[in-house]
Amino acid sequence: MAVVPDPVWPVVVLALIQLVDGLLCIGPVPFVARCFEDVGWPRRYWWIMPPLKFAAAAGLVAGIWIPILGVVTCGALVLYFVVAIAMHVRAKDFGRNLYLNATVMLLICGATGLFCFVI
């Protein structure tokens, strides 16, 4: 495992993505609410998403100086997006949210963890 992530920029970009995603989950904005509804995510749990996304952003930023935290955060994000993909498949939601959002984010999170922290 690297002493510090190399390169650092993908970690910072992923942290920014998580921060913006957390902001979009506050409320949430209409297209995020539609996504939650499409996969059957119960409304009573919607409040969990912003703190989860903000924690991921914080874990990634802290992972720049504490690499094991960055590895764990990337691993948690990979698991999160595997579950998200499974929820889309279960709901037969094979549109933009599955492919562009969940699948691309799974690849970004996995690649960031692998190329910045492991290799």
What is the total count of domains within the chain?
1
Q: In whole angstroms, how far apart are CA 26 and each of 1, 17, 50, 108?
A: 35, 15, 6, 23
Per the structure, the complete domain to which residue 52 belongs is given by: 9-118
| Residue 85: predicted pLDDT | 95
Question: What is the rounded end-to-end Cα distance, in angstroms, of the chain?
Answer: 7
Q: For tokens 């995603």, name the residue.
A: 21
| Residue 19: predicted pLDDT | 98
In a domain, 79, yes or no: yes
State pTM to two decimals: 0.92
The C-alpha atoms of residue 8 and residue 64 are separated, in whole angstroms, by 7
| Residue 2: predicted pLDDT | 54
For the chain (length 119 residues), average pLDDT per consecutive 10? 82 98 96 93 96 98 95 97 95 87 95 92
| Residue 90: predicted pLDDT | 94
| Residue 97: predicted pLDDT | 83
The C-alpha atoms of residue 66 and residue 5 are separated, in whole angstroms, by 9
In a domain, 4, yes or no: no
The C-alpha atoms of residue 86 and residue 103 are separated, in whole angstroms, by 10
In a domain, 2, yes or no: no
In a domain, 97, yes or no: yes
